[in-house]
Structure formats: structure tokens, C-alpha cells
Amino acid sequence: MAFWWTVFVLGFAYAICRFLVMLIPPNVPSIEVDASDVVDDGNQAPENSYIYIPPRVKTQQQDKKVQCYEPANMKYLGFVPALTRDEVKERVASARKAQNEWAKSSFKQRRLLLRIILKYIVEHQKLICEISSRDTGKTIVDASIGEVMAICEKITWLLSEGEKWLKPESRSCGRATLHKKARVEFHPLGVIGAIVPWNYPFHNICNPVLAAVFAGNGIVVKISEHASWSGCFYIRIIQAALAAVGAPESLVDVITGFSETGEALVSSVDKMIFIGSTGVGRMIMKTAAKTLIPVTLELGGKDAFIVCEDVDLDHVVNVALRASITSSGHNCNGAERFYVHKNIYSSFVDKISERVKAITVGPPLAGKYDMGAICTQEQSEKLQSLVNDALDRGAKIVARGTFGHLPEGAVDQYFPPTVIVDVNHTMKLMQEEAFGPILPIMKFSTDDAVVKLANDSKFGLGCGVFSGSQQRARTIALQIRCGSVAINDFATNYFCQSLPFGGVKESGFGRFSGVEGLRACCIVKAVVEDRWWPYIQTKYPKPLTYPVADNAFEFQMSVVEATYGLNIWDRLRALINVVKMLSQENTSAKHNSVIGDGDKKAD
């Protein structure tokens, strides 16, 4: 009893000490980042205050500049350069030079870097969210959830577990090499390239950067031409943090431009991470094949949202709206196909239609239900085309949101949230990625039927399954071919940063986030060495020493059977054969040696 009492007291004391240590604020330096040119204080220069009208005919790279504007009101923000191939190669070369130095950094230095970034994010949440909102049209609430919170979670996971998963990992040696030690080591790849979309500008830059830099790499990120204004500010945060820990600022860089800029990046780096459309993903692979660099692709999605008849309907409707209607839905691969059990189909449609009709579409900083702008007029036109195709094939619109307080020059940038029924898989709306606030709803009658429907897609990014029985939801979800599943929820996988993220089929391959994503930023090196060097080393037996003996193959077969045979008696018999042949070989060798010595004496 006294022993256990002592153990309890020591454990309690340890817990108290850990708690007290947590109360001590960490000594993390603060950084200053110039935000004077991105804060909307109403005093912008006249040339940056007019309404921007995008040209109907794209000129892209020949303009040598990327025009930036707020999609919610078309207010002009300025421009950034469209970098040429040579300029991209110069940026990558600078990052490579910096990486040679950073590869020698300690995990202590890398953790300090992450803490500095985390401190700045927490202290400047509003600034980060407002910049993201202005550049993409999303609400600042959705920017906080999908960008700030997600990145804070990623940093916290890297601080907690990152070093553990990058340390050398011991592996078993097997039977053939019992005298060896085996391990896997994780070394920096060099300079990683990333091409990211516009939907989450802060997150899409930080997500690959944090993993790459923590693994000892440099990284150059090509940001979307539709979110270049915000991206050029966000990189200042990372570079200021690098300077604070004594690392070269060129270790992390962003580049701006169009397709030529992105292609030049793919041709210059040691690995590519691409987030975007399936079509562009294929082009990335084609270019990457020329230099045979590894590629991680997170491409299109057509995620299924499955609702069984035994659910809490009000709860599911709330999740469905978050997954498809709000900015975090239309700005990412949210739920794009809804399958509802026939017994509750009408009730689900009625409830969600009622909620959608109450939504007022408007500028992101006004109202509770604003979903903001689509970001590009072309995307709005694509959504309308998908809806028109569905209507032509027999679908019906049962609910749409309304517009309110839209700037006159930005009306075409918006698309109202839309509920559509009587849809089927012959319609483009159910087969192509929509990337917008549309809810096409189908009914199903059995679990097997809904699994077939969910798998009838060229995409396979994620899905959500809802049921009053968690076991039933799990059974359905695990039959769906996709990269991630959420049971009785949707897309929460992404907040669990220990999990890998990515898809299958035309949704891409490879993973980022989690252990898999972190190690994907490394050269995975297999190392084997002698366990008891120099006393025991690999030495080939006489029958296998060149020139091999006449019975070499018989000897090798006996070795294999003695080592791997399933029957213990067969293994023993084979072992005896091995010993016998070795004895014969030694006897023969001694005999030859004696004859040789006799010949020498005769001479």
C-alpha cells in the first residue's frame, strides 16, 4: 500500500508541476509586418480606388502583370508582376542556396519559427481574415474557421509531433540479416514547389510551407492570379519570422503570374505540390515527367453527402448548409451531391429549401447569411451552365437565395444558393465539379444503392455519412472509394492534422498533412549497418564464393528452406544439409591446402 501511495503522490506532484509550467508564458519573439498597403482605411490613392472591369478576352502572360481586385465589389487593389521563366528560376536558385543552410538547422530552431508564426496569427487574426475576405469574397467568419483555425491546428501538431516523425525510425532486419541494424532516415528533399488555388489564400500558402520548412526544405509557392494581392502580404509574415530566427528570407518565396510562371516552377524544383483542377493536374504531371520529380496532386471533388432516415434532421440540415452554401462550402470542395433516404426525402428538401430562401446573398462583411462572391465571373457562368443542363434534362429548382445590397458592377460575380431536385447521374451537375453553392438532391432506398451512387463518380476526395446508428454510417462510409470520410459530420477530417489529406481517382494522389504529408517532404533513405561491427560482418560461405562451387545452388536452396520453411522438421533437415556441405567444403579446402604444402616441399 505504501508503494502505491508513493506512486500516486509522485504522479500528482508531476501533474501539478506540468500545469504550473503551462502557466509560464513562452518566450517567443514578436515580429513586425508592414500592413500599411493592405489595410482598407479609405485613404487609398485614386488610381487604386476605381471599379475594375476584367477584359472579356484574356491576355495573361503577355501583359506581364496580374490585376488584383475585390470580387465582392470589383474594387481595384493594384497589380503584381507576372514572372518570366528566367525570373522563376532565379527565385528557385535563391531558395536552393538558402535551403543548403537551413538543412543544418536544429528542430529547436524550426519549432521557434513555428511559434513566432503562431503568435503573429493569433494576435492578428482580424487582419488576416479581412485580407482573405477582400481577396476572395468570403466572410471573415469563414476565413477564421477555414484558414486561421486550420493553420493554428497544423502548427500545433507540428510542434507536438513533427520532430518525432522525422527522427530516424528503427526497422526489423528479418531472418537473413539478423546481424544488421536497419533504420529509415528522413532527409530534406531540397526545394519544393507548390501551385495553389485562390479559395483559401492564407491556408493554401501556409499549409505546404509549414511542412516543407519544418522538414528542412526551401519552398517556392506560385499563388493564384485570383488571390495574388493577399498572398503577397502573407509571405511577409513567414519571411519576417524566418529573419527572426536567423534564417535566410529567400528560403520561402511566392511567385505570381499565369501558366508560364507555373510551368517554369515545375521545371525547376525537386518536388511539386499542386492543388487545383484535374486538367491542370495532368499538365503538371506531364511537365514533371521531364525531370522525374515526385508530384502530390489534390484535384477536383464531387463529395457525397449521405443522409439516412434515422437522423436528427435539423442537425443534418445545419451541417448541409455549412458544407455547401456558405463561403467555406463554395470556396472549397464542399458537399456537391446529396443523397437522402426516400422516407425523409420530402422533409429534408422542405427544411433545407426554407433555410435557403432566407439567405441573402451580398457583400461578405454584411449580414449573417452572406456567402460572398464566386471570385470569378467565369465560375459563375459555369455554375449557370450546369444548372441549365440539369433543367433541360428534367430537374427542378425548388429554392434559391436572394440578392441584397450588391454593388452594381459586381452582380455577375455572384451566384445565389440553389436547391435542385429530380436530378440523376446523366446530368453534368452530378458528374462535374461545381465548386459553388448548389445542392442537387437525390433519393435512395437502400444502403447498397446509395453506396453505388456515391461511387458512380470519376472523383474521390471525401464524403460524409449521417445515420442514427454510428455502425451503419461507418459501414456505408468505408465502402465509398475516396480519400477521407466523416461519420455523422462533414469535412472535419481536415481539422485533425494528424490525418493525411488527399483523394483517389481523378481527385489526385499523394497526401499532405499528417505523418504521410510531412514525410512526403523528405528523401526517405533506408540505412543498414552491422549490429556488432567489427566482430560480426557479412561474409559469404565458401560454396557461394567466386568461383562458386559445383553444389552452390543446392547449398543456396538448403539455406532458403532452413531460413523460411514452414515445417520445423524440413527446416532442421535443410540446416543439417547446410552444415554438411560447409563441412565438406572445409575438408576439401584443408585437403587442397595440404597437397599444396606437399608440392612446395617436393620442390
Q: Looking at the annotation, which residues are catalytic? A: 298
* Alpha helices (H) along 43-124: 85-102, 107-123
CB within 8 A of 574, min separation 6: which ones? 558, 559, 561, 562, 565
CA-CA-CA-CA dihedral for 266, 268, 269, 272, to nearest 10: 0
Nearest CA to 224 out of 257, 253, 248 is that of 257
Beta bridge partners of 463: 304, 485
| Other beta carbons less than 10 A from residue 551's beta carbon | 15
Tally DSSP H helices, then E strands, for the chain. Answer: 20, 22
- The DSSP code sequence of 211-273 is HHHHTT-EEEEE--TTSHHHHHHHHHHHHHHHHHTT--GGGEEEE--SHHHHHHHHTTSSEEE
- Residue corresponding to grid cell 429548382: 397
- Give the β-pairing of 418-421 and 402-403: unpaired
Amino acid identity for residue 480 in this structure = I
Residue written as grid cell 538547422: 105
Nearest to 264 by CA among 210, 209, 220: 220
Go through 151-187 and write b for each residue having 16 or more CB atoms within 10 A of its CB, e for each that does not. bbbbbebbbeebeebbeeeeeeeeeeeeebebeeebe
Phi–psi pair at 398, nearest 5 degrees: -110, -15
DSSP classification of residue 549? P
Are the C-beta atoms of residues 420 and 458 closer than 8 Å to each other? no
Question: Distance between CA 140 and CA 135 in Å, rounded?
Answer: 11
CB 215 within 8 A of CB 522: yes
With CA atoms as reference, report the closest residue to 218 among 185, 186, 194: 194
Output phi, psi for 375, to 5 deg.
95, -40
- What cell was used for 284? 503538371
Tell me how many degrees the CA angle 297-303-308 measures, rounded to the nearest 5: 150
What SS3 class is residue 511? coil
- Could you give the C-alpha distances from 432 to 334, 374, 457, in angstroms and in order? 13, 17, 9
Q: Cell numbers for 477, please give them.
A: 462510409
Alpha carbon distance 280, 297 (integer Å)? 10
Radius of gyration of the chain (CA): 31
589 is written with which cell numbers? 579446402
Task: Give the C-alpha separation, 115 to 413, whole Å.
Answer: 38
Which amino acid is located at 229 in the chain?
W
CA distance 281 to 509: 10
Containing 303, the helix (H) or strand (E) segment is strand 303-307
